Amino acid sequence: MEIRWFRNRYTQPIYLYKEGKDLYGETTSRYVERTELLKDAIGEGKVTLRIFNVSVDDDGQYHCFFRNGDFSEEDITEVKVTATSSDIQIFIHPPNTKGLIMDCHSGGWFPQPQMEWRDSRGEVLLPTSKSHSQDRDKLFNMKMSLFLSDSHPGTVTCYLRNPLTGQEERTSFVLSGEICAFVVQMTAIVT
| pLDDT tens-place string over residues 170-183 | 999 887 655 544 44
Question: Is residue 41 pLDDT above 70, yes or no?
Answer: yes
Span 33-47, mean pLDDT?
85
Please, which contacts does 82-87 make with residues 24 or more away whose CB atoms are closer than 8 Å?
Answer: 82/110, 82/111, 82/162, 82/164, 82/165, 82/167, 83/56, 83/108, 83/109, 83/110, 83/139, 84/108, 84/109, 84/113, 84/162, 84/165, 84/167, 84/169, 85/109, 85/160, 85/169, 86/169
- pLDDT-based confidence at residue 190 (cuts at 50, 70, 90): very low
**Residue 123 Cα distances to 47, 86, 126, 170, angstroms:** 49, 22, 10, 14
What percent of the chain shows pLDDT beyond 90?
64
What pLDDT, in 10s, does the model give residues 145-163?
A: 999 876 666 789 999 999 9
33: left (phi over 0), alpha (psi -120 to 50) or beta: left
The full set of domains in the chain, from first to last, is 2-79 (2.60.40.10), 88-190 (2.60.40.10)
Q: Which residue in 136, 141, 172, 144 sits closest to 157, CA to CA?
A: 172
Q: Give DSSP secondary structure letters for 131-183.
A: EEEE-TT--EEEEEEEEE-S---EEEEEEEE-TTT--EEEEEEEE-HHHHHHH
pLDDT in tens, 80-125: 999 999 899 999 888 777 788 999 999 999 999 999 999 989 999 9
